[in-house]
Amino acid sequence: MQQIRGVLLGMLAMVWATGMWAQDKEILFEVSLSKEKLGLNERLRVDFTMNRDGDHFEAPTFKGFKVLMGPSQSTSSSWINGVRSFSRTFSFIL
């Protein structure tokens, strides 16, 4: 559990350091986990989602974990009533 918190804190620090929160439109960056607690040899899915297009995403090292799959990427973009919505997610299985 401490390692998961360390990964999350590291990602939040990286986002803050690059100034992603200060622009004209609000930029959102979220990290979500598939589980709050892990048993021995259970898998964990980690999703990094942002609402802006960008191609300079660098994943953390996931120290203490073995990356079984990833990064896989999904993108969603739509225009509804002249309003654009966008989402890009990078997923890892640990």
Confidence of residue 22 (pLDDT cuts 50, 70, 90): very low
How large is the C-alpha radius of gyration of the chain? 15
Decide if 90 contacts 70 (C-beta within 8 A).
Answer: yes
Q: What's this model's pTM, rounded to 2 decimal places? A: 0.66
Alpha carbon 18 to chain centroid distance? 15
Q: Has residue 79 got a pLDDT over 70?
A: yes
Decide if 29 contacts 15 (C-beta within 8 A).
Answer: yes
pLDDT (average), residues 3-13: 70
pLDDT at residue 13 in the model: 67
